[in-house]
Amino acid sequence: MRKPKKQNKIPFIIMLIIHSSLLGYSFYKTKNKKQLFTLLMADIGFAYLLEYVVLNVFHAYTYKPKIIKKNFFDNVFGAILSQGIFVPFTAVFSTFMKIGWVGKLLLGGIYFSLVELLFLKLKVYKHNWWRTIYTLILIPLYFSISDWWNILLEKKNPVVRFISLFFMILVTEANLLFLFASTRKVRFGAGKFHSWKEHFIIVPLYAITLSLFSTVTFLKQNNWSVKISVFLMTIGLDQLFKKRKLVKEKFRAADYFTVRILAIFLYGKFSDLVYGVRKAGEKEVVEEKCSK
């Protein structure tokens, strides 16, 4: 007998509860919530970039949470849960708890490998060319990168802070664009017919371009001039994609501008979070060492 489709989502819900609890505990216990949030967004950003290559381009595996009706979106949403929540939330917990290599192998490699095997058995996840041994090796390494990244954030390393801000904006853009696509507001592609396969290959490139420009622009200041520059660049990039017939949109102008303006203000807050609150003519005036 076939298992009801509604049962597919149960393992994902259980995982969501478990890993959200780990992250919640980390935030509850830490004194520096701002840095922990920055680390979380950086960890998610790393995972999203890897997922772009492994899932979007090379289709290593398929998720089947049966949460979204259209299979293509359901697959991507399953990947977002895995790479945007389960693994990064656990990486932040591992870094906060200062778990060593043995713990990383147990919590990262072995635990997630067992979860992967269980998901395969439950048929809510399928390998195409991916193998569980890759998970066993890569996740402990990913946890170690999280540790290293956190140390460099504490030292205020300029390169790490720049990339962290870039990841914060990129993750937000990627999630917004997924929401727009899943509600049929936007579709990227080439030619007259834009397939969803094309969309999920092109849209990350759009998000990366916009995020990189926004990061560079917000690097030294967070003022009206910067916000207007990012807003104009966003409109210009949209028009370029439309002119090249690489995107089809169904936005009402008011909705589009509202979302874009709110996003830009959020990116300004991210900039202040990473670099501190700055005043005109000063690179960094206030650098908060901890958050409440």
User: Could you please report the per-residue DSSP string of 133-188?
Assistant: HHHHHHHHHHHHHHHHHHHHHHTT-HHHHHHHHHHHHHHHHHHHHHHHHHTTSEEE
pLDDT of 208 > 90? The answer is yes
Q: Compute the mean pLDDT over every residue in the chain, rounded to the nearest whole number.
A: 91
Strands (E), the chain: 61-63, 125-127, 186-188, 247-249
Band of the pLDDT at 285, cuts 50, 70, 90? very low
Q: How far apart are CA 37 and CA 153, in angstroms?
A: 11
pTM of the model: 0.91
From residue 279, give the alpha-carbon distance in Å to each of 188, 222, 225, 230.
Answer: 39, 8, 13, 19
Tens-place pLDDT, residues 135-156: 999 999 999 999 999 999 999 9
| Residue 127 three-state SS | strand
User: Residues 175-185: what's their mean pLDDT?
Assistant: 92
pLDDT of 82 > 70? The answer is yes
One-character DSSP codes across 52-79: IIIIIIT--EEE----SSSHHHHHHHHH
Contact 255, 213 (CB under 8 A): no
Which of 175, 158, 198 is closest to 283 using CA atoms?
158
Tens-place pLDDT, residues 212-262: 999 999 998 899 999 999 999 999 998 898 888 888 888 887 888 899 999
Cβ-proximal residues to 188 (8 Å cutoff; 6+ apart), any chain: 194, 198, 199, 202, 203, 206, 241, 246, 247
Tens-place pLDDT, residues 94-135: 999 999 999 999 999 999 999 999 999 999 999 999 999 999
User: Residues 174-178: what's their mean pLDDT?
Assistant: 94
pLDDT of 192 > 80? The answer is no
Instruction: Find the helix or strand (DSSP H, E) in which 89 lies.
Output: helix 87-96
Q: What is the pLDDT of residue 196?
A: 84
| Percentage of residues of the chain with pLDDT beyond 90 | 76
Q: What is the pLDDT of residue 244?
A: 85
pLDDT of 4 > 60? The answer is no
Cβ-proximal residues to 152 (8 Å cutoff; 6+ apart), any chain: 160
Band of the pLDDT at 280, cuts 50, 70, 90? low
pLDDT of 286 > 80? The answer is no
pLDDT of 292 > 50? The answer is no
Q: What is the pLDDT of residue 267?
A: 97
| Percentage of residues of the chain with pLDDT beyond 70 | 93
Q: Classify residue 66 as left (phi > 0), alpha (psi -120 to 50) or beta.
A: left
Q: Roughly what angle, to the nearest 10 degrees, separates helices 132-154 and 87-96?
A: 50
Band of the pLDDT at 158, cuts 50, 70, 90? very high
Contact 45, 166 (CB under 8 A): yes
pLDDT of 287 > 50? The answer is no
